[in-house]
A and B are shown apart, each in its own frame.
Chain A
């Protein structure tokens, strides 16, 4: 299941604008890697480039190498749709499909791709995914109700259930808790800890306590100034980054002395 992601000298462009420059990063399987850094430093762009979601924006492209267990993700003939089936994503704002019920939302990955399975197998998949997202007990009696009727935190866990229902190798999370209250945030963080036994998780967060709580490794992104490309300053074990980082900029940022 879980696979490693490896970026080598990765440059990410929007048209001719270099957004992120020279990222070298190794993400080990079955770990949680947090990406922190100021707004606009390119951490979300980098995250989205891992499953080629940034290509949704016209003109976006990358240079360099990005591999999933040694397989080049941007090689010739690689289908972005195939990449996204192996690398799932959870977004900042919960976005369940409004036309679908809770049940249908969980199996949306299968439904949208016309994968048919028996009723029993589908029921099992829904239960397993919702249990995996710690949502089963809250929604098991109303699976046929619309997903948009749930609370924000529940919707976000529904989106996580939807993402893990397609059994990806890697799970990307783009500030998954920034629209949630502390209790829902705690539920998601607990969930991340459980999911790490099965998945490689990369999470972008603005909340440094959250990065410290949930991640094994932390990467710090920074930007020199407006119009300059963002870059990875350093990447290390989370406790190293938060206690004795090698770079001055990292230390300034994690201790809150950042501009």
Chain B
């Protein structure tokens, strides 16, 4: 083996032609496709595929797009390889693959938004926001009770989870060392993955201890949601606190600032933008929960604004129930379910906008 290598090297060293070939410089000027070429190839591929499919009588938009994309990628590679060389051809094909993946990811998103808006607009009216379902058997009625239920239960869950979550993250990043911190991190990770129904069953079992079986009330739902929410808040806050540069903590210590004040006045304000968006994501994660609330918050047709007594309906439960157990005629129930979904999406959207606003207001500025 060694001797072989040696002879090879020797041969290369003596063979002037070979060495010269190895150092031939790459040409600086190479062929380049005109800017319109990718679009031209795209249109041509779609036309060709569409034409063939139409000629054979199998024309369909979806099939045309899929086969057209494949042909487009193949044709681009061949043309580019011929004109521009292998590296650029690969570059173009990878660009196409990435773009297609992005478009595929976008399909369900757009489809959901469009479908919910289309179907939800029918009952997106004053009556939906003003009325509950008390005494309503057919058309009419609304989701006022469910909207209030969602807002109250989610707000309670947020009020419980945000302080606990942020303080836990502060402990883990600023104070926690050794076994306790590792155990907390482990359990937070486990809790991030617990199925939401388990949280609902936990809350139900917990409150049944005090109030007997069959307990249903809004606060129980908030407890179930906060079990789902706390780990998300902890994880996102932890990541944000970790990226605060240590130099800022040292700067504060060097000014004779106690640790807790450094955390409250330097570390948290520096990372508040990220914490705010993490918290919003956590709220968005739990606001659409159905299963745990079905168990512990229950279902009612009337408005109940007291989370500590009586059943409370939330939008996801309302939507689920309207669809799963509609009355006769069926149509008004299904319409209300779609509108509930639309309202839920709008609430989450508003929350996201609020978080962006908060992030913008608090973000460290440079000019």
Contact = CB atoms under 8 A, between A and B. Distances in A.
Interface stretch (A107-115, A204-212, A239-247, A249-257): A107-115
B257 interface: yes
Contact of A113 (B256, B365, B366): B256
Scoring B249, B262, B266 by chain A CB atoms within 10 A of each residue's CB, the highest score goes to: B266
A88 B248 CA distance: 15
Interface stretch (A50-58, A132-140, A191-199): A50-58
Contacts of B249: 56
A93 B364 contact: no
Contacts of B206: none
B250 A91 contact: yes
Interface string A57-84: 0100000000000000000000001111
B330 interface: no
Given A56-B253, A95-B250, A146-B365, 17 more contacts: A56-B249, A81-B253, A84-B254, A85-B256, A88-B254, A88-B255, A95-B248, A96-B251, A97-B270, A109-B257, A112-B262, A114-B261, A146-B367, A148-B364, A149-B366, A162-B255, A163-B255
B255 A108 contact: yes
Nearest to A82: B256
Identify whether the interface residues of B are mostly helix, strand, loop, or mixed. helix
B252 interface: yes
A109 B256 contact: yes
A34 to B, nearest CB: 20
B266 A97 contact: yes
A101 to B, nearest CB: 9
A8 interface: no
Interface of B: 177, 245, 247-258, 261-262, 265-266, 269-270, 362, 364-367
13 contacts: A56-B250, A85-B256, A89-B254, A95-B250, A95-B251, A96-B251, A97-B270, A98-B365, A99-B270, A109-B255, A109-B257, A148-B364, A148-B365
A91 B255 contact: no
Given A56-B250, A93-B247, A95-B245, A113 B257 contact: yes
Interface of A: 51, 53, 56, 58, 81-86, 88-89, 91, 93, 95-99, 108-109, 111-114, 145-146, 148-149, 159, 162-163, 166
B270 A51 contact: no
B232 to A, nearest CB: 25
B63 to A, nearest CB: 54
Nearest to B269: A99
Contacts of A86: 256
B252 A112 contact: yes
The 5 closest A-B pairs by CB, nearest first: A85-B256, A98-B364, A89-B254, A109-B255, A95-B247
B269 to A, nearest CB: 5
B366 A81 contact: no
Nearest to B365: A146
A108 B257 CA distance: 10
Nearest to A148: B366
A52 to B, nearest CB: 9
Contacts of A96: 251
A85 B258 CA distance: 10
Contacts of A56: 249-250, 253
Given A145-B367, A146-B364, A148-B366, A84 B245 contact: no
A145 to B, nearest CB: 7
Contacts of B247: 91, 93, 95
Nearest to A90: B254
A112 B261 contact: yes
B271 to A, nearest CB: 10
Contacts of A112: 252, 255, 257, 261-262, 265-266
Nearest to A96: B251
B270 A81 contact: no
Nearest to A101: B365
Nearest to B258: A81
Given A112-B262, A146-B364, A146-B365, A81 B248 contact: no
